Structures are given as structure tokens and as C-alpha cells.
């Protein structure tokens, strides 16, 4: 049996046990966490290809051809040459950026050679993928600044000691205009205009520059220069990755295979991908307690995509857990706590995950929020005439924008919680989307009157909570 097979057997036994038990969960996190460093080189080529394919959206031309390429390179006494290109466009890295790094780590642990390509030259053009307008180019200073913290932030998911790092300015900067013209005679303009985002912009009358049209060609030349076997990238990069195959054929090289990874939905459950601009992300430098809490705030439907994206669980193990939920032998909340623990374990280790788990349980199993300790507060005497969305955004900073607060309300994630005096039960009142823009004091008064309730009022946005003072003022 392979090393991964041994681990799967141990994890399957743990997944059949009581996952509300701290002892069981700690054993599970220790076992699955250790997989991030597990040597996978003993896996047959077919199993390697299947393991990559299980986490990819597409493997092109096919997983079977990936297995064949692995076998071919083994016969030559070497591994595949895998490339992941990165445009250094931001200083903060979130969990969405970790998805390709996790798959890249699996390739690495299978014994393949990995090149991490820093797109310092193409960053000055700006990748137009999925954009409705041209992206401003980056300067050398921007690129250097953005790269400074990237390595430390993704280090939990990837071994930088076993990787080649290249910059595409090495071969793109000296590329001459005659060389480019010669190449472009073999690249149909129609292939560059296939992109839906380009067609949409042209149809709307928006501008489209030649530099944007040439971006896929520049990225494809990276594959030519590195003579890649496999290029990894987001599913939104598919046409750019396929351009690499086309240019390699033009240069009489064996075309690379392409593996695309999913764009992960953000924590707010709105359907939008994880993005700092939307406030629905989990930063890789966030404290363990915040990471755990944000995972606990996601809709249940995101548990399986998140398990697939950020854990080392196999499909069979994920199926075992979901089957238990369907059979009602496992509560979804218990699985979500395991998922949150998995992500914290990846970033900070099992001990930190168990501490975050204990803190979350201690806080949210309280019968009274009054027992939790210090909570943020909002003074209704000062802010009661402001809309709830404005209070959440500008006063409490619970949401990044008023539209985000409205989306939260639309998902029934915006609530008033009333704690009566004495030992009475909490009462939870849902704030409708239409009420999210109305004055806080007005909505609270109407809700309390309709429910015939009184007591201490808390405003709850997702998992964030604040006490409302001054309602009698």
C-alpha cells in the first residue's frame, strides 16, 4: 500500500467516529495536516494524475495523457516540469491564492520539478482576464513591493526550498519587434478575440488595447522559454494557457498539458469569488481565531468546495463525511468545525487549531452574550438615525460596504438578538433586506413591538456581534 493509502485508511476510521469529540478531531487534524508534507513519489502515474485531476477543473488534453507524460519522464529518469505563473499585483494574499499552490505542492511531493514564474514583465501589461476595463500597468517599484511579502504568506502551503524561481523579463524584455512580427503571422487574430470578456467589451463600445491582445502571447512565450510539461492556472486563464500549447507547437516543442484550478467562492455566500475588494476573503496572515470564525460563518453548501480546495482529504473521505450528514449521523456544524480546524492547522498547526476551536465553542455556546465578555457596541443615541447598513459599514466596520450589508440581509445573515432580563431564552429577529437601509432605531423599535419583546439588543451580522446601547435615549 502507498503512503497516502495508509493515511487514508487511518483517516477513514476517524471519520466514522464522533466528530464532536475534541480528542477525535485533534487526531484527525494531526493526521490530515501531516499529509501536506507526505512524500507522494510512490504513487503510480495513474494515481498521480487522478489526484491532480480530482482537484482540477480541467486537465487538458486529458488525465490519461498526463499519466502517460509522467511515465515518459520517469523512463527518462526525471520528473515533469511544472510551471505556475504569478502576476505580482497585490501585497495581501488570501486563501483563494493558495489553491494552485496546494496543487503545485502535490506535484512537488510526487517528485516533479516546479518553476514558480514571477510575471514581472507581463505585470506591466496587466492580465485582462475577466476584466471589463484595462488594468493599470505596474511599475518596477510596485512589483518589488508586492513581491516582498508573498513568499512568507504562502509558505505554509508550499516548499520554496525545492523550487526554481524565474522572472519572465529574462526572455520577454530582449524580444525584438521582428521576432514578434514573425510569430504573430502564425497566430490568427480570431484566436485572440475568442475571449468572452473581450467580445463583451467590444460590443459595449469599450476600449481594447493591443497590449491586452498580446498578453496571452506573452504568457505563451513563458511556456516556450521554460519548455514546460504542465502549466497550472485558474480556470479563467484557460485561453492564455492554451496559447502556450499553440506557441510550443509553432516552435516544434512538445505542447504542455494544462491543469486549471477553480476560482473559490467567497465566505459571504453571494456567489462572487473570494476577493479582498468584496470583503469575502480570508487573509493568510489573519489570526487563527479570525480564520476559524470566518470559516464557521460560511453557508453549509460551501463546506464541500472548501474541503476540496484547502484540505488534503481525498474524494472518498469527503464523500464519507457528506454521506454521514445525509444519514444524520454527523451534524453539519461538527463538520464545519473540522473544516475550520483544517484551515487553521495548515496556517498555524494543530495546537493553534484546537485553541481556536475551544475559543469558538466557549464564545458561541454561551446562553447569554453578556457572558462572552467585551463586545463592540453601537450607541443608538448617536447613530440610531443612521441606516443599519451604514452603521455596519462606517461605525462597526463589520461589512466593507452598504451593498455587502444588503447582501448579508438578503441571505438572512443580518439579525437582531434580544436577551430578556433573567433566565429567559434569546429571541432572534431577522432583518429583511428592505430594512437594511432604514434607521437602526426605527427598525429595532418595530421589531421589538411586533415580537412583544424587551431586553438587551444585539446586532448580528454573520458571526459578528455588537451590543446596541442607548435605545431609550
N-terminal to C-terminal alpha carbon distance within the chain: 71
The dihedral of CA 281, 286, 292, 297: what is its sign? Answer: negative
DSSP string, 228-260: -SEEEEEGGGHHHHHHHHHHHHHTTPPPPEEEE
Which pLDDT does position 134 carry in this prediction? 46
Which pLDDT does position 291 carry in this prediction? 93
Helix (H) or strand (E) holding 460: strand 456-461
Which pLDDT does position 52 carry in this prediction? 96
CB 4 within 8 A of CB 38: yes
Which pLDDT does position 188 carry in this prediction? 84
Distance in angstroms (rounded) separating the CA atoms of residues 383 and 236: 43
Distance in angstroms (rounded) separating the CA atoms of residues 25 and 184: 57
Which pLDDT does position 253 carry in this prediction? 96
DSSP 392: I
Average pLDDT per 10 consecutive residues for the chain, totaling 473 residues: 95 96 97 96 97 94 97 96 80 83 94 90 62 55 71 81 88 92 86 73 74 86 95 90 93 96 89 85 90 92 95 96 94 96 96 92 65 75 92 89 85 85 77 92 91 88 85 74
Which residue reads 506557441 in cell numbers? 247
CB 88 within 8 A of CB 119: yes
pTM: 0.74
Which pLDDT does position 92 carry in this prediction? 66
Distance in angstroms (rounded) separating the CA atoms of residues 207 and 436: 37
Domains and CATH numbers, the chain: 1-36+266-365 (1.10.240.10), 39-261 (3.40.50.620), 377-469 (3.10.290)
DSSP string, 273-288: BP-TTTT---BTTS-H
DSSP H helices in 365-439: 380-383, 388-390, 402-410
Distance in angstroms (rounded) separating the CA atoms of residues 440 and 171: 59
Distance in angstroms (rounded) separating the CA atoms of residues 341 and 351: 10
Which pLDDT does position 372 carry in this prediction? 55
Cβ of 9: how many Cβ atoms within 10 Å? 10
Distance in angstroms (rounded) separating the CA atoms of residues 238 and 245: 11
Which pLDDT does position 79 carry in this prediction? 96
Radius of gyration of the chain (CA): 25
- DSSP, collapsed to helix, strand or coil, labels residue 415 as strand
Amino acid at each position: 500500500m502507498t503512503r497516502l493509502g495508509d493515511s487514508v485508511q487511518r483517516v477513514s476510521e476517524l471519520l466514522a467516529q464522533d466528530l464532536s469529540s475534541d480528542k477525535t478531531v485533534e487526531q484527525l487534524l494531526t493526521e490530515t495536516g501531516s499529509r501536506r508534507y507526505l512524500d507522494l513519489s510512490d504513487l503510480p502515474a495513474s494515481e498521480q494524475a487522478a489526484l491532480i485531476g480530482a482537484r482540477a477543473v480541467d486537465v487538458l488534453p486529458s488525465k490519461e495523457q498526463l499519466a502517460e507524460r509522467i511515465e515518459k519522464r520517469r523512463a527518462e529518469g526525471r520528473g515533469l516540469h511544472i510551471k505556475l505563473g504569478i502576476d505580482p499585483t497585490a501585497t495581501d494574499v488570501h486563501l483563494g491564492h493558495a489553491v494552485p499552490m496546494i496543487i503545485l505542492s502535490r506535484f512537488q511531493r510526487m517528485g516533479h520539478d516546479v518553476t514558480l514564474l514571477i510575471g514581472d514583465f507581463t505585470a506591466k501589461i496587466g492580465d485582462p482576464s475577466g476584466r471589463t476595463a484595462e488594468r493599470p500597468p505596474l511599475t518596477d517599484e510596485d512589483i518589488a513591493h508586492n513581491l516582498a511579502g508573498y513568499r512568507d504568506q504562502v509558505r505554509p502551503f508550499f516548499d520554496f526550498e525545492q523550487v526554481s524561481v524565474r522572472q519572465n523579463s529574462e526572455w520577454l524584455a530582449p524580444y525584438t519587434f521582428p521576432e514578434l512580427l514573425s510569430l504573430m503571422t502564425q497566430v490568427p487574430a480570431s484566436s485572440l478575440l475568442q475571449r468572452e470578456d473581450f467580445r463583451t467589451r467590444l460590443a459595449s463600445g469599450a476600449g481594447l488595447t493591443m497590449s491586452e491582445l498580446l498578453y496571452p502571447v506573452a504568457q505563451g512565450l513563458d511556456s516556450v522559454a521554460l519548455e514546460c510539461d504542465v502549466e497550472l492556472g485558474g480556470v479563467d486563464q484557460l485561453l492564455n494557457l492554451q496559447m502556450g500549447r499553440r506557441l510550443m507547437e509553432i516552435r516544434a516543442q512538445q505542447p504542455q498539458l494544462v491543469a486549471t484550478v477553480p476560482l473559490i467562492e467567497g465566505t459571504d455566500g453571494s456567489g462572487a469569488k473570494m476577493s479582498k475588494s468584496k470583503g469575502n476573503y480570508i487573509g493568510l496572515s489573519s489570526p487563527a481565531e479570525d480564520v476559524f470564525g470566518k470559516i464557521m460563518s460560511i453557508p453549509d453548501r460551501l463546506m464541500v468546495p472548501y474541503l476540496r480546495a484547502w484540505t488534503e482529504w481525498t474524494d472518498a473521505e469527503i464523500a464519507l463525511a457528506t454521506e454521514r450528514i445525509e444519514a444524520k449521523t454527523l451534524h453539519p456544524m461538527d463538520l464545519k468545525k473540522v473544516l475550520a480546524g483544517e484551515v487553521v492547522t495548515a496556517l498555524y498547526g494543530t495546537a493553534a487549531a484546537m485553541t481556536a476551536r475551544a475559543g469558538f465553542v466557549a464564545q458561541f455556546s454561551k446562553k447569554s452574550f453578556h457572558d462572552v465578555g467585551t463586545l463592540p457596541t453601537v450607541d443608538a443615541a448617536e447613530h440610531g438615525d443612521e441606516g443599519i447598513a451604514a452603521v455596519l459599514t462606517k461605525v462597526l466596520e463589520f461589512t466593507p460596504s452598504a451593498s455587502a450589508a444588503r447582501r448579508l440581509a438578503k441571505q438572512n445573515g443580518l439579525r437582531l438578538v434580544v436577551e430578556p432580563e433573567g433566565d429567559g431564552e434569546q429571541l432572534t429577529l431577522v432583518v429583511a433586506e428592505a430594512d437594511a437601509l432604514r434607521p437602526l432605531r426605527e427598525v429595532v423599535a418595530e421589531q421589538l413591538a411586533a415580537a412583544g419583546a424587551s431586553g438587551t439588543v444585539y446586532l448580528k451580522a454573520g458571526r459578528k456581534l455588537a451590543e446596541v446601547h442607548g435605545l431609550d435615549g
